[in-house]
Structure 1
């Protein structure tokens, strides 16, 4: 077998996640990206500047992220190549490990499932508020379950499939450039007036980098869930994002529930279309079922990583 960098990174992430003790001491690598993005946004995204100037400065910010994250990852890859004894892949796996979030995603969604299954709706609202941006204080059981499942499905792409895909395609620079762009999209890639110009490049670049991973995520979730193909093909485009609808539609179809629909942000209801429209409302047990599908989909990724290592 060739160097199993991706498989090793997946195993490290599944076993350890990103330990709280490590986070308290040094934070997480994406925090460096966030500080750079915040600094650029504070200095450059000023309302007195024209739309065109703010868009251009947003493009410069994305280029800075690509060059800094890709350049540092390239240097780390060169450093790892110096490890003797044919063990360079272990160093590469260590450097790639923090870019994956399979364990972290499971650990964040599992408390939602536990709280709902024990009938503790207030605790479920608190748990789901940590992973979604919508208003959660008044959500009923089905709303909490739906929010948790949607976050799990969408983050399966952003946090697991996409970084692994770019690791396999472009090596260490690939995974860290993706993480930098995805972080930028989450911070500034919004449609609100403040970010529409400055965050345009981050949002469009993130869309581009997720085209293949999002569709692969949908395929994996349907395979892991034993169905959902019809809803995937019919409703994947019922989402404002060109990519997020694919894993969400796959999960909705596999669970036979409806996701998306009307949702409230900052007290304002947004009339989003349903995904899996004829399905039932999600209930407490559906979050646990979604986690089971997610685990099986992650195992499929392990198999893909092993096959790629074997063939490379």
Structure 2
């Protein structure tokens, strides 16, 4: 009964999210994945180790994460159905909804809009810095707005569409394995010399897990925005990621904006290509428009999930 689980998990996430009070008290499950990754990185990613050894240890780290996340979730799911019978899907949904990020993304983006509308750039930079990895200290309103929109569009796949896809396909183990791999990719799946070998397996597996969800998510954004398909098909591959470009290009085309471009990380400027051919002077109003598109896309996921639950 995967599909009723998925629809209920979407509802619980939208209504409850993961409250700050809960986060402060017990953290979040992905924090546990991060600690495992950190411990493995300290053991198996030392500069003195040969690159081949670091790559092997990175592969073993991903396998360990899959055993903990997917294997643990499988045991939990099996136990809940054995204990509660057919009604166990409700308990499984309760275990699944923290792996979705509809509410979290919305709640992280709205303060950026509020800060920009009151012309408080320091507060806006601080808020956008919570959802992006780039340097934000020198961003103006347009730079802050583009960063927020890019993060929202990319995270629609990583935080909502992909975990939902794997929840519907493989149940609770699929969702939490997806979240564990995505966490590993965000922490170690980088091309810098320190991470390239150790994070190789995490990055490649995350690419594979997001291959289908990213393209479906891009299509949903195009429908929700009432346009952007041509831009998505033309510009998606300009992004360094084989997947993130699909939702980012869809949002750029749907909003008539130009996203991407040069950004700074750790003080170093990276000359990334532009995506889209619209305006560059994004503003708080454009973030609000992007948030509307995001909400519509989430509602379409609800409709698809509900339709499959009814049909099956």
TM-score, normalization by structure 2: 0.97
Structure 2 spans left out of the alignment, 5+ residues:
none
CA 1:143/1:87 → structure 2, altered by over 3 Å: closer, same or farther? same
Residue 167 of structure 1 corresponds to: 167
Q: Do 1:153 and 1:251's aligned partners in 2 also have CA atoms closer than 8 Å?
A: yes
Residue 233 of structure 2 corresponds to: 233
CA RMSD of aligned residues (A): 1.3
**After the TM superposition, which of the residue ranges 80-89 and 132-141 deviates more from structure 2?**
80-89
Residue 305 of structure 2 corresponds to: 305
Residue 39 of structure 2 corresponds to: 39
Residue 180 of structure 1 corresponds to: 180
Q: Deviations over 1:116-162 (max 9, x none)?
A: 12222221111111111111111111000000000000000000000
Q: Equivalents in 1 of 2:13, 2:236: separation in Å?
A: 29
Residue 103 of structure 1 corresponds to: 103
What pairs with 1:191-202 in structure 2 (closer than 5 Å)?
A: 191-202=191-202
Q: Do 2:45 and 2:54's aligned partners in 1 also have CA atoms closer than 8 Å?
A: yes
Q: Do 1:10 and 1:100's aligned partners in 2 also have CA atoms closer than 8 Å?
A: yes
Q: Do 1:2 and 1:311's aligned partners in 2 also have CA atoms closer than 8 Å?
A: no
Q: CA deviation at 1:264?
A: 1.1
Q: CA deviation at 1:302?
A: 0.5
Q: CA deviation at 1:268?
A: 1.4
Q: Equivalents in 2 of 1:96, 1:206: separation in Å?
A: 19
Q: Equivalents in 2 of 1:85, 1:50: separation in Å?
A: 51
Q: CA deviation at 1:280?
A: 4.0
Q: Do 1:9 and 1:93's aligned partners in 2 also have CA atoms closer than 8 Å?
A: yes
Residue 248 of structure 1 corresponds to: 248
SS in 2 for 1:133: coil
Q: Do 2:69 and 2:180's aligned partners in 1 also have CA atoms closer than 8 Å?
A: yes
Q: Do 1:128 and 1:136's aligned partners in 2 also have CA atoms closer than 8 Å?
A: yes
Q: CA deviation at 1:2?
A: 8.3
What pairs with 1:32-181 in structure 2 (closer than 5 Å)?
A: 32-84=32-84, 86-181=86-181
Q: CA deviation at 1:26?
A: 1.3
Q: Deviations over 1:28-69 (max 9, x none)?
A: 111111111000000111111101110011001011111111
Q: Equivalents in 1 of 2:169, 2:3: separation in Å?
A: 14
Q: Do 2:54 and 2:197's aligned partners in 1 also have CA atoms closer than 8 Å?
A: yes
Q: Deviations over 1:194-229 (max 9, x none)?
A: 111000000000000000011011000001111111
Q: Do 1:113 and 1:288's aligned partners in 2 also have CA atoms closer than 8 Å?
A: yes
Q: Equivalents in 1 of 2:278, 2:129: separation in Å?
A: 27
Q: How many residues align?
A: 312
SS in 2 for 1:18: coil
Q: CA deviation at 1:83?
A: 4.7
SS in 2 for 1:252: helix
Q: Do 1:69 and 1:173's aligned partners in 2 also have CA atoms closer than 8 Å?
A: yes
Residue 221 of structure 1 corresponds to: 221
**Which structure has the highest helix share of the two?**
2
Q: Equivalents in 1 of 2:184, 2:299: separation in Å?
A: 29
- 1:264 and 2:252 are equivalent in the alignment: no
Q: Equivalents in 2 of 1:86, 1:58: separation in Å?
A: 39
Q: Deviations over 1:151-186 (max 9, x none)?
A: 000000000000000000111100000001000001
Q: CA deviation at 1:85?
A: 6.6
Q: CA deviation at 1:82?
A: 2.9
SS in 2 for 1:210: helix
CA 1:3/1:149 → structure 2, altered by over 3 Å: closer, same or farther? closer
TM-score, normalization by structure 1: 0.97
